[in-house]
Amino acid sequence: MGNTHDDPSKNVAYDTTDTVPVGHHHESLSFQVKKKGPWQTAWKKLKRDRAAMTGVVILSVMILLSILAPILPLPDPEETDLANRLKPPGTEGHILGTDELGRDMLSRLIWGGRLSITVGFVAVGIAMFIGTILGLIAGYFKRFFDTVIMRTIDVLMAFPYVLLAIAIIAALGPGLMNTMIAISVVGIPYYARIVRGSTLTFREMEFVMAERAIGANHFHIIFYHILPNCLPPLIVAASLDVGWMILAASGMSFLGLGAQPPDAEWGVMLSEGRKFIRVAPHVSVLPGMAIFLVVLSLNLIGDGLRDALDPKSKS
């Protein structure tokens, strides 16, 4: 690929000490390259991945718009104007048209993004946090903890996700917050299994034994040695999962279990617009497109991260 100058293994004169004659190993080595950690290397690889960078750009724009929503010159997303219902995109004053109550579509999409994207990230955050801790404990201590935690998780996984999420919402009551909790719970097994798997591998490594030999306690070993080694697969999983969570949250809202009208939320908007799909398709297509773009960009990023964080893929 013509990127030899970027490959750390090519520039370093590693083997000098091992080839000097016996007894002369105090000769010093000189290294010409700056330090390069696993994260820097991964970032360099990611930057060269066009697809992943496209995802990063799309996602950044959407996140930026969502953050800036309160200060952008947008009409109130909940202000109705029945005289201007279902205006098509391109109408003066409403670039993306209006919905069935005359509310500005662009404004609703941007404000809706705030909710949908936040829900996706927060739900992944909760699921990842709990799942990681459970996975670490199960994989590190094995025996009793492993049995109890993993069998519970197997029970959780035996339910179809959507059904389980609906059941949890049914118990907690509909609403965006409860939806978030529900899809987080549904997501926990995914993380717990990934982390448990890596933990089982790393706990047998000799560096863990070395830490024990020096007198490190289990807490230190788990959080300072095993967790950092579990991060790469975890990050890949999480980046792919944010998209899934956004989709799930929108799905719940579409079914009337999540965010409630008149809230601007992509799933709600899609559901409401569905009734007018023949006369004004933009009302449902636009939020659908928004969901599609976020999920696509997150998948592109996730795939890129998978390659970038894999130490075996070199370029």
Q: Which is nearer to another protein, 92 or 206 (CB)?
A: 206
Asked whether 164 and 252 are in contact (CB, 8 A), the reply is: no
Q: Which is nearer to another protein, 163 or 205 (CB)?
A: 205
- Name the 3-class secondary structure at 91: strand
Q: Which is nearer to another protein, 265 or 307 (CB)?
A: 307
Q: With binding defined as CB under 8 A, does residue 228 bind another protein?
A: yes
- Name the 3-class secondary structure at 104: strand
Q: Which is nearer to another protein, 27 or 92 (CB)?
A: 27
Binding to another protein in span 158-217, by CB under 8 A: 205-207, 209-217
Q: Considering only the stretches 20-28, 86-94, 167-175, 289-297, report the one whose residues sit in contact with another protein under the rule CB under 8 A.
A: 20-28
Q: With binding defined as CB under 8 A, does residue 38 bind another protein?
A: yes
Q: Considering only the stretches 33-41, 90-98, 259-267, 280-288, report the one whose residues sit in contact with another protein under the rule CB under 8 A.
A: 33-41
Q: Considering only the stretches 5-13, 106-114, 186-194, 297-305, report the one whose residues sit in contact with another protein under the rule CB under 8 A.
A: 5-13
Q: Which is nearer to another protein, 158 or 214 (CB)?
A: 214
Q: Which is nearer to another protein, 200 or 293 (CB)?
A: 200
**Which among 237, 108, 265 is positioned nearest to 180, based on CA atoms?**
265
Tokens (6 digits) for 159: 């339910």
The minimum distance between CB 30 and another protein, in angstroms, equals: 7
Asked whether 188 and 132 are in contact (CB, 8 A), the reply is: no
Q: Considering only the stretches 21-29, 55-63, 169-177, 267-275, report the one whose residues sit in contact with another protein under the rule CB under 8 A.
A: 21-29
Please select the residue that binds another protein; options are 36, 47, 50, 275, rule is CB under 8 A.
Answer: 36
Please select the residue that binds another protein; options are 6, 7, 12, 233, rule is CB under 8 A.
Answer: 12
Q: Considering only the stretches 28-36, 181-189, 276-284, 299-307, report the one whose residues sit in contact with another protein under the rule CB under 8 A.
A: 28-36
Neighbours of 137 (CB within 10 A): 20
Q: With binding defined as CB under 8 A, does residue 30 bind another protein?
A: yes
**Which among 251, 304, 259 is positioned nearest to 53, based on CA atoms?**
304
> Rounded to an integer, what distance in angstroms lies between the CA atom of residue 19 and that of residue 17?
6
**How big, in percent rounded to 5, are the helix, strand and coil portions of the chain?**
70, 0, 30
Asked whether 66 and 252 are in contact (CB, 8 A), the reply is: no
DSSP 23: T
**Which among 310, 235, 294, 304 is positioned nearest to 48, based on CA atoms?**
304
Asked whether 274 and 284 are in contact (CB, 8 A), the reply is: yes
Tokens (6 digits) for 255: 């079914």
Beta bridge partners of 98: 104
Please select the residue that binds another protein; options are 1, 2, 5, 15, rule is CB under 8 A.
Answer: 15
The minimum distance between CB 25 and another protein, in angstroms, equals: 4
Q: With binding defined as CB under 8 A, does residue 312 bind another protein?
A: no
Q: With binding defined as CB under 8 A, does residue 256 bind another protein?
A: no
> What is the CB-side half-sphere exposure of residue 202 using CA atoms within 13 A?
22
> Rounded to an integer, what distance in angstroms lies between the CA atom of residue 34 and that of residue 98?
56
Please select the residue that binds another protein; options are 2, 5, 23, 82, rule is CB under 8 A.
Answer: 23
Q: Give the interface with another protein as residue ranges (CB under 8 A).
A: 8-9, 12, 14-15, 17-19, 22-23, 25-31, 35-38, 205-207, 209-217, 220, 225, 228-229, 311
